[in-house]
Chains A and B, each alone.
Chain A
Amino acid sequence: MKKPTIGVLALQGAVREHIQMLETCGARGVALKYPAELNLCQGIIIPGGESTTIGKLMVACGFLDEVRDASRAGIPVYGTCAGLIMMAQRIAEGDQPLLGLMDITARRNAFGRQVDSFETDLVIEDIAEKPRTFRAVFIRAPWIDEVGNGVRILGEFGGKVVMARQDGMLVSAFHPELTGDERIHRYFLKMVEEAR
C-alpha cells in the first residue's frame, strides 16, 4: 500500500519532531499551513505548543471548521498536549477556541507550571505494557477531568487520565515526539490504515 500522508498542523509548536517521527515510521509527514492542504492527508496531528495561540491561529486561518469536517468524515486525528486541549469538547477553566471533537473535559496546565514539568514511565493500554513502559514527557501538561461513554482510557498517571481514544480520535497529555519511542506514532498510523 502507498505510504500514508499525515498532516501536522504547523501554525505554532513542535511540528518538526512529529514529522521526523512519522518519517521514521515509514509515513509521509507534511507541515500544514493552509486548510486546503488537508485534502492530501489520511491523518492529522495537532502538535504541542501554546493552545491559546494555536486556537486563535486556527480561527484566523480557517482551520477550525475544516479539521472538524475532516475528523467527522473519518480522518483520524491525534492531539498531543495543546492538541489534546484543542480536541476536547469541554475545558475546565477559561474560554478559548476548541475543535470540540472528543467527549472529554480537559484541564489546562493541570500538572502545574514549568518547574513542575516532569518525565516518568507509563503503562499504556495496547501500546506499552510492563516491562516495556513508555517514557512520557509532561510539559506544563493538561490532564483529562472527565471522559464520556464512548471514550476509552489508555493511560493514567497519579490517578489522572493522560491518554485516551474515541473512535478515530487519539489524545495524549504528554509528548511522544520528544522521545525516540515510536510506539504511539505506529499505533496512530495503524488507526489511519484501518480508516482507509
Chain B
Amino acid sequence: MEEKGTLRVKTGLAEMLKGGVIMDVTTPEQAIIAEEAGAVAVMALERVPADIRADGGVARMADPAVIEAIKEAVSIPVMAKARIGHFVEAQILEALGVDYVDESEVLTPADEKHHIDKWKFTVPFVCGAINLGEALRRIGEGAAMIRTKGEAGTGNVVEAVRHMRTISGEMHKLTVAPEDELMSAAKEMGAPYDLVCWVARNGRLPVVNFSAGGIATPADAAMMMQLGADGVFVGSGIFKSEDPASRARAIVRATTHFNDPKVLAEVSRGIGSAMVGQEIAEIGHENLIQFRGW
C-alpha cells in the first residue's frame, strides 16, 4: 500500500531543498546552466519577473511546451507558477507533472478574494507571504512551503529583508506571549488559531520558508540565510546579469557557506556585474506586486 500526496510527502520535498538555491529559467539552455551551477530546483517561466514588470499586460502560467522542454532538459525538480486563485492553471501544472506549483503574485491574480484550495492537489504548493498572518493563511489552505515575497524583478533586496524580519519578529513575539493571548493574536493577524499555537510552541513556521524577490548577489543570498531563510529563490538576478553561470555558481556557494565571510569574499569576486536594480520608491506603491494576494 502506498499513499501519495500526503502532507509529509509534500513538505518533505521542501525539506530536501533546504540550504539550496531555486533559479528562474525560461529555456532548457538556462535550466542546464542552473543545474550545472548546483541549483536544487528550477522555476520554469516564460518571462523572468524583471521582464514581466517591464512588459506589463496580464502575466499567466507558462506555455506547457516551455515547461515540458525544461523538464526534459534537467534531472532536478521543476517548479512552475500559477496565478493566485487560478486552480485550473494549477490542475494543468499537476497534469504536466511539475514537482511544485508556485501560486505566485508575480503573475496577474485570477481571484482577488480566494487563493487556491491546495489540499485538493497531489502536487505540493509554495506560496508567498509578507507577514506571519499571510504565511499561516496559506499553510491553512494547504501550502507545503512558504517564501517571503520581497519585490520580484527589482534586484533590490530591501523588501525581502523587510518580509523576513517581519515574520521572524512576529514569530518571536508569539513564543513569549502568554498562552491566553494567542486567540487574540490569531484574530489580529487573521491566521488559523491552531497554527498560531504551533508557532508559539516551536518558534518557527511548520513548513520550510525560503526568501525571494530581489536577491541579486551572493551577499544578498547569504544575508537572507543569516536572517533565517531556509534557502533562496533567485529570479531575474541570474539571467539578467552579465555572467549568469558564474553568478549562479557563486550564489550556490554563498547559500551553503552563508556564515563564512572568507568564502563569501572569494565567491563574490570576478563574476561580472549584477542586474541593474530598481529603487522601490521609484516603482510607486500601486505598482508593487507584493500586495497582490492577502
Contact = CB atoms under 8 A, between A and B. Distances in A.
Chains A and B come from one and the same complex: yes
Interface string B17-37: 111100000000000000100
B252 interface: yes
Given A11-B19, A50-B76, A60-B253, A139 B9 contact: yes
Contact of B122 (A10, A115, A119): A115
A56 B20 CA distance: 12
B19 A118 contact: no
Contacts of B17: 49-50
Nearest to A60: B253
A149 interface: no
A12 B20 contact: yes
B19 A116 contact: no
Contact of B38 (A52, A117, A139, A175): A52
Contacts of B9: 117-119, 137-139
Given A57-B252, A57-B256, A118-B2, A113 B99 contact: yes
Nearest to B3: A119
B123 A12 contact: no
* Residue from B9, B97, B98, B100 having most chain A Cβ neighbours under 10 A: B9
A120 B13 contact: no
B5 interface: yes
Given A52-B38, A114-B99, A81 B19 contact: no
B283 interface: no
A108 B124 contact: no
B15 A14 contact: yes
B252 A178 contact: no
A53 B122 contact: no
B135 interface: no
Size range of the interface on A? Answer: 35 or more
B257 A33 contact: yes
A49 B41 CA distance: 11
B75 interface: yes
Summarize B's interface: helix, strand, loop or mixed. loop
Contacts of B38: 52-53, 56-57
Contacts of B1: 120-121
A103 interface: no
Interface string A93-134: 010000000000000110001111111110000000000000
B256 A11 contact: yes
A98 to B, nearest CB: 14
B123 A50 contact: no
Q: Which of B12, B17, B100, B252 has the most CB of A within 10 A?
A: B12
B193 to A, nearest CB: 24
A49 B77 contact: no
A74 interface: no
Nearest to B124: A114
A17 interface: yes
Pick the most buried of A48, A53, A60, A118: most chain B CB atoms within 10 A of its CB: A53
A105 B20 CA distance: 26
B18 A50 contact: no
Contact of A140 (B13, B15, B35, B39): B13
B76 A48 contact: no
Contacts of B12: 117, 137, 139, 175, 178
B13 A114 contact: yes
Contacts of A118: 2-4, 6, 9
25 contacts: A12-B19, A12-B256, A13-B18, A13-B20, A49-B18, A50-B16, A50-B20, A52-B75, A52-B76, A53-B20, A57-B252, A114-B77, A114-B99, A114-B100, A115-B5, A115-B94, A116-B4, A118-B2, A119-B2, A119-B3, A119-B8, A120-B2, A137-B12, A138-B9, A178-B8
Interface of B: 1-6, 8-9, 12-13, 15-20, 35, 38-41, 75-77, 94, 97-100, 122-124, 252-253, 256-257, 260
Given A50-B40, A115-B94, A119-B2, 11 more contacts: A16-B18, A52-B75, A53-B40, A56-B38, A115-B5, A118-B2, A118-B6, A119-B3, A119-B9, A137-B8, A140-B13
Interface of A: 10-17, 33, 48-50, 52-53, 56-57, 60-61, 81-82, 94, 108-109, 113-121, 137-140, 175, 178-179
